[in-house]
Structure 1
Amino acid sequence: MSITLDFNGKNLAKGKSLHLHYLPAKISGDGEANVETYFNNYTREAPEYGSGMLNNALRGYPLVGERMKVPEGYKGLVLQETEKPLSESTDRQLRLTGVFDEFTYWNYDKVPSNGDPFRQAMLMADVAKALSEPISEQDLEAEIRRNLESKKENDS
């Protein structure tokens, strides 16, 4: 199976900017939703949970959320399948339907934290960047010296 992405760099620049919500729910539907009227209008600041926290509810379940930015150097994309696949092995084609730089991340009745799997996945961009940066010999030697000095202090 192959996946074809149907967009180019020009589409990214002029793609429709979207305001997205990451919800802890599976919604079996593929139609339009009037999010502005029936969800966004009920989103409130929730300082009791911390700075920048929000609250709302979905089908009676309380939500606590926060606005998150896409990691620097990355662009959030919304892709949509052009045709429903007939089987798992069918080739698929996705087209760009919008772009985003920030979104609202929601949890059921608990404050979002770095312990959440989704937030950990978002942090992986920073980890990957740190691991892929080249290290000079001088930096490596300085780190080895620091570790040796630290070990001597701990052994004393």
Structure 2
Amino acid sequence: MAEHQLLDLATFVPLLDAQLAASPAEPAGNPARWALVNAVIALALRAKMAPGAEAELSIYQRAFFRNATTVMSELILQEPCLLSAQALLVMAMFARATSDTRAFAMLVTNALRQLELLVAAQNQSPANGAFDIADRAQLMQAYAVASAFEELARQQ
């Protein structure tokens, strides 16, 4: 999944710190941050797992992924935001790594929809949805990843 980087460490660590400060056990009013943090941890655990340790340690990565999925309906139904689209894409990365093609396709579709709505809102009224340069770069990176994943989902 390294070929599809959504966030760098400097962006992720403040999100992790904010989530842990708010609540390590629940979304604390920010389901997008909760989902993103848990999905990134699940994906990191999967990537760093030593060969042969999968059976013993998969419970931990699945627990973090389950935490992320507990707020999936909120991510999909709330007003689109960059953080929720990124969370859905990280969850899609995890689903792809576990060969869950239906979940992968559903997550990618919803992330892409949110990103398209964000871009449309930005184009309609730049003052209302103003993104700074860093946010715009993250938006374009997320859109590129979502588009690549959409193509992968079509091939499956």
Q: In which range does the TM-score fall when normalised by the shorter chain?
A: under 0.3
Higher helix residue share: 2
Rg larger for: 1
The normalised TM-score by structure 2 is: 0.26
Higher-RCO chain (CA-CA 8 Å, sequence separation at least 6): 1
The normalised TM-score by structure 1 is: 0.26
Higher strand residue share: 1
